[in-house]
RNA sequence: UCCAGAGUAGCUCAAUGGUAGAGCAGCCGGCUGUUAACCGGCGGGUUGCAGGUUCGAGCCCUGCCUCUGGAGCCA
């Protein structure tokens, strides 16, 4: 039976007759024998295999080169040389799949930009193998975090007719040919439909029944965004809590990010060491800081005062009523506070209709969590639970209440204060790994003009 | 979409307007324990595309394409 390399390397004693399968990372030949390093993706480290020239199956060593797949049987022994604790003395080796000389991955390091062009092969590199192992572990940690707190996982629809205002441009979904706007009532669903930009509105309906819920699924934005932190398809986590206000919302967001950092630190130690070494030297220190220190919380009004009083020249103006620009958010989180920062209570004019109006009648109970290096990683709010106020908000945002009748019903039938947020899973991964481009933390990135693979 | 930079061998990069090169990878050979092994040899190019200037363009000019970074939008 096959043993994964991660288990082989964790062995505490020599073992006989192990079966290993994987891909050759590199080979070093000596007279009469070769060193083969095999990787099967179960961990970052390779297993060194010593193959004698007379080992059965090794009659044609030229075929067992970088990239080839192989099955090896042998005995695990303590390695006499430094560099690895264990090595496998092969008793039999078999070429499973040969590799063409055009195999693009080399033993030496490649740039992430080049590896992006071969997205089908890049998980075989150290960096991307590590990234995607960590992505998997963290997806699990997300569920564990919410399930441990009695949150119910809700699968909100991917195809939707409702627009979660303010979330961005939507991709149209249609089965029509020709002019798709001529008779939308004849379309597959009998109306215009889109790929979801957020499961929030549907999530609210479940929170107003099951109390605490979360979604975790693909989300689509048709924005022509070309940046290191935007993708047209990404995974979003959206908790929603009934009987919860903005304070509780901010508490959960902060607790969540800390928990994810802690999980990575405890469960992905080997993988994190690679990021610290080759991607972001400050990563261990940053994770420690995030875990240990409370996040700074500052009302929008105070944030504006800090920015105005900073003496800094900003490219874009800072004034009450204007959105904070990237440079302002960067200043707050990277320079002024040098810590993750939650900005809350934004002017009502710059936020969507569903956010709850504060008693000052000027601001809404919104919050954005900003982290150094990435900017906004969480955006959330307490929702407007008062029917009259919600209707007024919709009027001032020029929305038709008829389009949101089911959403308004939540306020008619046993309304409750509730709050939630959206968190970009890829941005979280960027923060936890130091990887600076969102295209490198998602297996096959969808960005404007690019849907290869 | 806007601004800036870049595009030369499979990869990373050189090359005053004057014969396109190196390292690595690949292939062949050597080496008794290697660690991104080492040593010797060999092959490898429509210089992103299309025009233009010039006796002569990888280099200068124009347009386009792609990539990278920044901005806007946001998660």
Place of tokens 């933390």: A441
Q: Which nucleotides of B are covered by protein (CB under 7 A)?
A: 1-2, 10-13, 24-28, 30-38, 66-75
Q: Is the CB of A108 under 7 A from strand B?
A: yes
The confidence score (pLDDT) of residue A192 equals 93
Concatenated DSSP letters of A105-125? --SS---HHHHHHTTTTGGGS
Nucleotide nearest to A200 (CA to C1'): B75
Nucleotide nearest to A117 (CA to C1'): B67
SS3 A20: strand
Q: Are A93 and A126 members of one domain?
A: no
Q: Are A229 and A190 members of one domain?
A: yes
The confidence score (pLDDT) of residue A408 equals 97
Cβ A65 vs Cβ A83: under 8 Å: no
Q: Are A142 and A82 members of one domain?
A: no
Q: Is the CB of A205 under 7 A from strand B?
A: no
Q: Identify whether A265 is part of a domain.
A: yes
Q: Identify whether A221 is part of a domain.
A: yes
The confidence score (pLDDT) of residue A49 equals 94
Q: Identify whether A105 is part of a domain.
A: no
Q: Is the CB of A430 under 7 A from strand B?
A: no
Q: Is the CB of A327 under 7 A from strand B?
A: yes
Which CATH number is A321's domain given?
3.30.930.10
ipTM: 0.92
Q: Are A339 and A201 members of one domain?
A: yes
pLDDT < 50: residue spans in chain A: none
The Cα A349–Cα A362 span in angstroms is: 8
Q: What is the pLDDT of residues A346-386, one digit of tens each?
A: 999 999 999 999 999 999 999 999 998 888 999 999 999 99
Q: Are A222 and A88 members of one domain?
A: no
Q: Are A76 and A207 members of one domain?
A: no
Q: Are A174 and A92 members of one domain?
A: no
The confidence score (pLDDT) of residue A102 equals 87
Which CATH number is A38's domain given?
2.40.50.140
Count CB-CB contacts under 10 A for residue A230: 19
Distance of CA A452 to the CA centre of its chain: 20
Give the total number of structural domains in chain A. Answer: 2
The Cα A231–Cα A426 span in angstroms is: 9
Q: Are A295 and A207 members of one domain?
A: yes
The b-or-e profile of A93-103 (16+ CB within 10 A means b, else e) is bebeeebeeee
Q: Is the CB of A446 under 7 A from strand B?
A: no
The confidence score (pLDDT) of residue A166 equals 67
**Residue A266's domain spans which residues?**
122-440
Nucleotide nearest to A25 (CA to C1'): B36
């Amino acid at each position: 039976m096959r043993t994964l390399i991660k288990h082989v390397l964790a062995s505490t004693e020599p073992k006989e007759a192990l079966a290993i399968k994987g891909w050759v990372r590199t080979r070093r030949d000596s007279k009469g024998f070769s060193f083969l390093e095999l990787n099967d993706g179960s961990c970052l480290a390779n297993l060194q295999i010593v193959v004698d020239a007379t080992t059965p199956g090794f009659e044609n060593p030229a075929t067992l080169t970088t990239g080839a797949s192989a099955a090896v049987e042998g005995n695990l022994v303590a390695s006499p040389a430094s560099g690895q604790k264990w090595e496998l003395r092969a008793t039999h080796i078999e070429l499973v799949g040969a590799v063409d000389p055009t195999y693009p991955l080399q033993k030496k390091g490649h740039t992430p930009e080049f590896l992006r062009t071969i997205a089908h092969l890049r998980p075989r590199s150290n960096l991307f193998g590590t990234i995607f192992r960590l992505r998997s572990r963290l997806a699990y940690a997300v569920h564990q975090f919410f399930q441990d707190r009695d949150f119910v996982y809700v699968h909100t629809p991917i195809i939707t007719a409702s627009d979660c205002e303010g979330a961005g441009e939507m991709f149209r979904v249609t089965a029509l040919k020709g002019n798709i706007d001529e008779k939308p009532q004849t379309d597959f669903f009998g109306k215009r439909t889109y790929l979801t930009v957020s499961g929030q509105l549907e999530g609210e309906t479940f929170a107003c029944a099951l109390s605490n819920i979360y979604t975790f699924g693909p989300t689509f934005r048709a924005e022509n965004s070309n940046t290191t932190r935007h993708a047209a398809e990404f995974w979003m986590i959206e908790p929603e809590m009934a009987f919860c206000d903005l304070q509780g919302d901010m508490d959960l967001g902060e607790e969540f990010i800390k928990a994810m950092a802690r999980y990575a630190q405890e469960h992905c130690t080997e993988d994190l060491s690679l990021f610290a070494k080759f991607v972001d030297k400050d990563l261990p220190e940053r994770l420690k800081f995030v875990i240990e220190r409370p996040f700074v919380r500052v009302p929008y009004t105070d944030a504006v005062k800090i920015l105005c009083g900073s003496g800094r020249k900003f490219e874009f103006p800072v004034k009450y009523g204007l959105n904070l620009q990237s440079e302002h958010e960067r200043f707050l989180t990277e320079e002024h506070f040098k810590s993750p920062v939650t900005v809350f209570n934004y002017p009502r004019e710059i936020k969507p209709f569903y956010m709850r109006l504060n008693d000052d009648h000027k601001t809404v109970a919104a919050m954005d969590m900003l982290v150094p290096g990435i900017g906004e990683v969480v955006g959330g709010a307490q929702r407007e639970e008062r029917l009259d106020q919600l209707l007024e908000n919709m009027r001032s945002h020029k929305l038709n209440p008829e389009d949101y009748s089911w959403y308004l019903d939540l306020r008619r039938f046993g309304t409750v204060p509730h709050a939630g947020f959206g968190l970009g899973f890829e941005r979280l991964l960027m923060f936890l790994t130091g990887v600076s481009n969102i295209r490198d933390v998602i297996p096959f990135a969808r960005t404007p003009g690019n849907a290869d693979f």
